[in-house]
């Protein structure tokens, strides 16, 4: 005897539901091109450094990937050119891929490094030392 049937719910917009269900890590930047595809990322902290990993299979890192960091916003942009060979079917994404991530400041912007290995881009952004905010007692003198 078979068990009860499991109802599977399908959504018309699976990418939107996945994005909404992930806690919306970053809102799209206003300067993102309308035809740009989002790059899947993960952000972690390790030993005083933010690690941003991005899935970018099939890229030539020195030609296809551009990384910028300004005002605490890390922008990863890639161009994936379509091959000229005939295809019966493809689900690959071609064109501009872009993702912007806001990182908490302060950051050591001049010490950022990036490496690309096996289709994964890893960007390391070191945190800057926080400025110490010392409380100070200010004496009040009687004015005469």
Each residue's pLDDT tens digit, 21-78: 544 444 444 444 444 568 899 999 999 999 999 999 888 999 999 999 998 999 999 9
In a domain, 106, yes or no: yes
How many Cβ atoms are within 10 Å of 136's Cβ, its own excluded? Answer: 5
- At residue 101, the pLDDT reads 94
Please give the tally of structural domains in the chain.
1
User: Alpha helix (H) ranges present in the chain?
Assistant: 14-21, 61-64
User: What are 83-141's pLDDT values in tens digits?
Assistant: 777 878 877 777 888 999 999 878 998 899 999 999 999 999 999 887 556 777 777 88
Structural domain span for residue 53: 36-83+92-126
Query: E strands within the chain?
Result: 37-38, 41-46, 49-55, 65-70, 73-80, 95-102, 113-117, 120-126
Total-model pTM:
0.63
Domain assignment present for residue 55? The answer is: yes
pLDDT of residue 14: 61
Comparing CA positions, the residue from 63, 138, 67 lying closest to residue 98 is 67
Tell me the C-alpha distance between 14 and 37, whole Å.
Answer: 15
- Residue 133 resides in a domain: no
CATH number of the domain enclosing 62? 2.60.40.790
């Amino acid at each position: 005897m078979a068990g009860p049937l499991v109802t599977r719910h399908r959504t018309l917009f699976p990418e939107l539901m996945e994005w909404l269900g992930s806690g919306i890590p970053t809102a799209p930047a206003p300067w993102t091109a309308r035809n740009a595809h989002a790059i899947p990322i993960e952000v972690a902290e390790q030993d005083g450094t933010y690690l941003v990993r991005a899935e970018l299979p099939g890229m030539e890192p020195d030609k296809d990937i551009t990384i910028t960091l300004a005002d605490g916003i890390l922008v990863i942009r890639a161009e994936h050119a379509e091959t000229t060979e005939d295809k019966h079917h493809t689900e690959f994404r071609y064109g501009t891929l872009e993702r912007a991530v806001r990182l908490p400041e302060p950051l050591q912007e001049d010490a950022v490094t990036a490496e690309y290995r096996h289709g994964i881009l890893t960007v390391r952004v070191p945190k800057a030392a926080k400025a110490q905010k010392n409380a100070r007692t200010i004496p009040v003198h009687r004015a005469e």
